[in-house]
Amino acid sequence: MSASALPPAPVRRAAYIALFVALVHIVFGAIVRISGSGMGCGDNWPKCYGYWIPPFERMDLVIEVMHRYLALTLFVSIAWLVFSAWRARGDATVGGNGGAWNGARLALALWFAPALFGAVTVFTGNPAWATVVHKLLAASLLAVLTATAIRAGGLGGTAILGQTGTRKAVGGATGAAALALLVVLLGGLTAKIPGAAVACAGFPLCGEGSLGGGAQHVQLTHRILAYLLVLHLGSLPFLFRKRGEPAPVLRAAWIGLGLGVLQILWAGWMVTGGFPGVVRSLHQATGIFIWVTAFTMTYLARIAAGRTVLAASSPR
């Protein structure tokens, strides 16, 4: 495909910026939960006890307000993405089927869902179920922005053009993405339920001195699904290479495996090191990156498999 058939660079650049800000925002959201700053401003919204910028002596207030300002920054970045795509919507690679224009508009609509639900979370006292729903909405926004970046030619979207893949790759990648999303949501629940984050004193199993009860069950479920995810991620690069899947799909699989191994290392350090806040934050951030990587792998695999079907149905 010629360079003139590729999506315009400004759209791709805006998609990358919006995705980056979204990643920073959701990772910082995990820091808000881990630091116990989720209700730092009480039921005050959008101001924090009358402050737009709280005193730096109250870091719980500062962290909570910074998270809110990151949400505003995310809105601006997505709005810029929509504007860039709107200006280029006459280009078939942007405004046509599978273009970035539709994805950009959907991302803007999705921004309001977690933002408004964030206010609901504050007004309802930050319950566990609200935290999970909030994280699900944020993960959905990440998925839409990832798809939009691929449609704009980023994250392997250009390299996948003209290549073909198998439906088996789609199935394997989809399984990884589904598991990754479940692990992320359970991670948020584990961080929120009292005692769940520290319910297991051992690693990789619970070990002696564990809390027991419902908190331990949540922790064990989170761990089992995480182990299954890493095992699944460990098989994909070798299966994809054996089948001759496209290079962008294989690259995403290798990145997913590397992140999965890193996640296990974080988890071991976190438990054996006494659950330091920094390592807990790195653990949750890596989980988000695994979700984005698995979704990217799935999206690229679907594009390649769709081209295989088109090639097979085309008259010779």
Of the listed ranges 6-10, 116-120, 245-249, the least confidently predicted one is 116-120
3-state secondary structure (DSSP) of residue 6: coil
pLDDT confidence of residue 43: 61
* pLDDT above 80 (res 295): yes
Closest listed residue to residue 88, CA positions, set 6, 162, 21, 20: 6
Band (pLDDT 50/70/90 cuts) for residue 44 is low
pLDDT confidence of residue 211: 58
Mean pLDDT of the chain: 85
Two structure tokens written together for 118: 């964030």
Supply angle C-alpha 154, 12, 155, rounded to 5: 10
Of the listed ranges 23-27, 52-56, 221-225, 232-236, the least confidently predicted one is 52-56
Backbone angles phi, psi at 93, to 5 degrees: -75, -10
Band (pLDDT 50/70/90 cuts) for residue 315 is very low
Q: Where are the alpha helices (DSSP H) in the chain?
A: 9-34, 59-87, 92-95, 100-123, 128-151, 167-192, 213-243, 247-272, 277-313
Structural domain spans, the chain: 1-158, 162-316
pLDDT digits (tens, 9 = 90+) for 157-212: 999 988 999 999 999 999 999 999 999 998 888 877 777 777 788 888 887 666 56
Closest listed residue to residue 302, CA positions, set 157, 92, 181, 179: 157
pLDDT digits (tens, 9 = 90+) for 55-97: 666 777 777 788 788 888 999 999 999 999 999 999 988 998 8
3-state secondary structure (DSSP) of residue 74: helix
Cis bond upstream, residue 204 (ω within 30) = yes
Q: What is the CA radius of gyration of the chain?
A: 21
Per-range mean pLDDT, top range of 9-13, 28-32, 55-59: 9-13
Two structure tokens written together for 267: 């988890």
Pairwise pLDDT comparison (44 vs 293), residue with the higher score: 293
